[in-house]
Amino acid sequence: MSAVLMGAWTVAAASVVLNVGLLVRGARGSAPTDLPQPAALESGGPAPTRQPADPVPASTNLPGCMAQLASLERLATEKSAELRKRLPLARLFRLGEPNPDGAALLGPMIDRLLATTDAVAAPNHSFECRDVVCRLTMVTPTGTNTNPWWQALQRRNTDLRGHTNGMSFHVGTPTQDPVTKEGLVEEAVYFRLGTPPGATGRP
């Protein structure tokens, strides 16, 4: 389904470029070329005089072009909303633009939850938001029991749960410290930003 949606976007974008190109050409007219003709270069004689091209009349359908552009923008907005509902959170994160406001909102909530577990200290982690998805990446030594932190993130009636409407946990990836060569595991969880109570529109 996502491939069909992306195809619709491609056709819409191509139509916009074509219409704008025709509009600009109509406004400017054809630009004559002053390069000498091949026959003149071979004989050494003067280049024949090139008759100026008839001017292309300026487009008179600017309102129609603007209306079509507005329609395509509405279509792109609708398709974006559909993709946000259908694509996996990890892929939405990869495709999204940075969202520092989302990170500033959820970041402190994440830090508080990770610090209130039975573990000795919060794990080494990073947090980033793109579009409507945020990703928490946690790196721990191989063999560490990370369940207390994941359980803390899933607690009910927390600020984090009140500002998100979905999360996705991903299996850890083995890695190592580049300096000490210590074995590490990198785990990630994705959160979908929700609309706070009393607010409307996209977060």
CATH number at residue 184: 3.30.980
What mean pLDDT is predicted for residues 48-55?
Answer: 61
Q: Are residues 10 and 31 in the same domain?
A: yes
**Is the CB of residue 170 less than 8 Å from the CB of residue 189?**
yes
Local structure of 89: helix, strand or coil: helix
- The contacts of residue 149 (CB under 8 Å, 6+ apart) are 113, 114, 117, 119, 122, 123, 138
Domain count for the chain = 2
Stated pTM of the model:
0.59
pLDDT in tens, 100-149: 999 999 999 999 999 876 656 788 999 999 999 999 999 999 999 888 89
Region of poorest pLDDT, from 2-16, 60-74, 108-122? 2-16
Do 43 and 109 share a domain, yes or no? no
